[in-house]
Structure 1
Amino acid sequence: MNLPNKLTVIRVVMIPFFVLFMLTNLAGEGSKFIALGIFCIASFTDFLDGYIARKNNLVTNFGKFMDPLADKLLVCSAMICLVEIGRLPAWIVIIIISREFIISGFRLVASDNGIVIAASYWGKFKTVSQMFMIIVLILNLNHSIFETVEIVLIYTSLVLTVLSLIDYIAKNKSVLFNGNI
């Protein structure tokens, strides 16, 4: 297993620790900051594994499949935690997670036909916007400027989620209609 794939696996392993600190007071007032630190490190591994894989020609089918899945697990776990603590409306998370299931379905059908659908730029923009949104929502800085930033990031993430879904469907409609690419 190459380094980018190890970083992807490490990101998945970090998720339960993030959730633990996000939803408990295990470290007192510091729990939120520990959760934030874990989330930021895990998010950085997303950038790092892709960079290393492309720079060193270490792109693998495992990475093409697992990297987006690891991102979905991290981001969806964080958003569910944010719903639980009242920082993010459930309806937004439902739309975002629904998009993830639809794309996973596309990838599964494509995989059955021997095709790996890599993440698109719209999908990458969506993931980055969601990660920034999550960081700001975890910080919860209680100032009117930051509340405005939170709202902008929430709706930017939502719009990019829908746009990336439309992009995937448009580019891969033959998977949906014909079962192949």
Structure 2
Amino acid sequence: MTGVPASAAGGSGAKPVRGGKLGTAAVNQASLWNIANILTMVRLLLVPGFVLLLFHNGGYDPAWRSFAWAAFAIAMITDLFDGHLARTYNLVTDFGKIADPIADKAIMGAALVSLSVLGDLPWWITGVIIARELGITLMRFWVIRHAVIPASRGGKLKTLAQGTAVGMYVLALTGPLATLRFWMMMVAVVLTVVTGLDYVRQAVVLRRKGLAAERAAAAERAAEATEEALQAAAGTTVAGAVGGTVEGTVGAGSTAGAVAGATDVRGGVTDVRGGVTDVRGTAEARDAAEAER
């Protein structure tokens, strides 16, 4: 019930680094058949075996209940070991991620329901614990898009208290030990409720932070898009203004050239006219001189 997924060892033959960080390569190279996954599968197989041993011979035989307690204890111990191996040696597989929490909930749920069916444990206790476990599991999926809710010390203490109390109820205890197991179960129920409320608080906070971060990111993207659009519009306006100025300059130059050309033509015509007048004056003077002679 630690919430740490069982994993798989690297299948490439490379020696795993103790305590090293888990990388994508380790996940991709993981092998299904490794010690962590084997322990998880053993715990899954122990669930039906535990139920059969507990209900054997009517469910009240002290010897068979001792065997059932041994199966339950082995299942709880394997839960601690496969999680430790997964964290230490970076043994991760998709199967381990799914099977480990299922095995945790299966062995505890089977024990609680079986004890309530036998009349040893009140149904309200079973209902509270199972509802809490299922609710927290669903809540983890509710916030998994934003963040992962880490396992707290309270959650680990809750798991230890639940395992101890349920194990004491599986055994056929009498006298002071029977009274002690009742109070141990009350401690487990209180821790179950308190840690469950704390997980709800964490989930709400993480979801709010995640939504706020998403809104901030969306606003930033919108601002960047607006800035790019404004820059593009400004560039288009500047280009148009420059083009209009150039065209105006070219047009003004052409007009000035035309005016200068027209002036030159007019000057040329005037010069021609002046030359003709001079020629006529010269001819008239020559005719007058000849007439005087």
Question: Does the TM-score normalized on the shorter chain lie above 0.5?
Answer: yes
Q: What is the 5 A alignment of 1:1-181?
A: 1=32, 2-25=34-57, 30-58=63-91, 63=96, 65-111=98-144, 113=145, 116-143=148-175, 145-174=176-205
CA distance in structure 1 between the aligned counterparts of 2:143 and 2:96, rounded to whole angstroms: 16
- Percent of aligned pairs with the same amino acid: 36
| Structure 1, gaps ≥5 residues long | none
Segments ≥4 residues shifted beyond 4 Å = 26-29, 59-65, 114-118, 174-181
**Normalising by the residue count of structure 1, what TM-score does the alignment of the two structures yield?**
0.84
Structure of greater Rg:
2
How many angstroms does 1:162 deviate by?
0.5
Q: Deviations over 1:6-65 (max 9, x none)?
A: 212221121011011112228965321221111111111011112212222335665455
Q: Which residue of 1 aligns with 2:286?
A: none
CA distance in structure 1 between the aligned counterparts of 2:118 and 2:58, rounded to whole angstroms: 15
Residues 118/58 of structure 1: CA separation in 2 closer, same or farther (3 Å cut): farther
Query: Structure with the greater relative contact order (CA < 8 A, sep ≥ 6): 1 or 2?
Result: 1
Is the deviation greater in 80-89 or in 113-122? 113-122
| CA root-mean-square deviation | 2.7
How many angstroms does 1:176 deviate by?
6.4
- Letter paired with 1:133: A
1:19 is paired with a residue whose SS is helix
1:24 is paired with a residue whose SS is helix
Residues 160/167 of structure 1: CA separation in 2 closer, same or farther (3 Å cut): same
How many angstroms does 1:89 deviate by?
0.6
- Letter paired with 1:124: K
Q: Deviations over 1:79-119 (max 9, x none)?
A: 111111111110111111110121121123245x3855453
- Letter paired with 1:138: V
**Normalising by the residue count of structure 2, what TM-score does the alignment of the two structures yield?**
0.54
Residues 156/62 of structure 1: CA separation in 2 closer, same or farther (3 Å cut): farther
- Letter paired with 1:97: I
1:110, 1:175 within 8 Å by CA — same for their partners in 2? yes
1:122, 1:160 within 8 Å by CA — same for their partners in 2? yes
Q: Deviations over 1:147-174 (max 9, x none)?
A: 2211211101101100110121111115
1:99, 1:162 within 8 Å by CA — same for their partners in 2? yes
1:15, 1:74 within 8 Å by CA — same for their partners in 2? yes
1:122, 1:167 within 8 Å by CA — same for their partners in 2? no
Residues 86/128 of structure 1: CA separation in 2 closer, same or farther (3 Å cut): same
Q: Deviations over 1:120-151 (max 9, x none)?
A: 332222111111011111112211x2122112
How many angstroms does 1:72 deviate by?
1.5
What is the number of equivalent residue pairs in this alignment?
179
| Structure 2, gaps ≥5 residues long | 1-31, 214-293
1:142 is paired with a residue whose SS is coil
CA distance in structure 2 between the aligned counterparts of 1:125 and 1:19, rounded to whole angstroms: 25
1:106, 1:175 within 8 Å by CA — same for their partners in 2? no
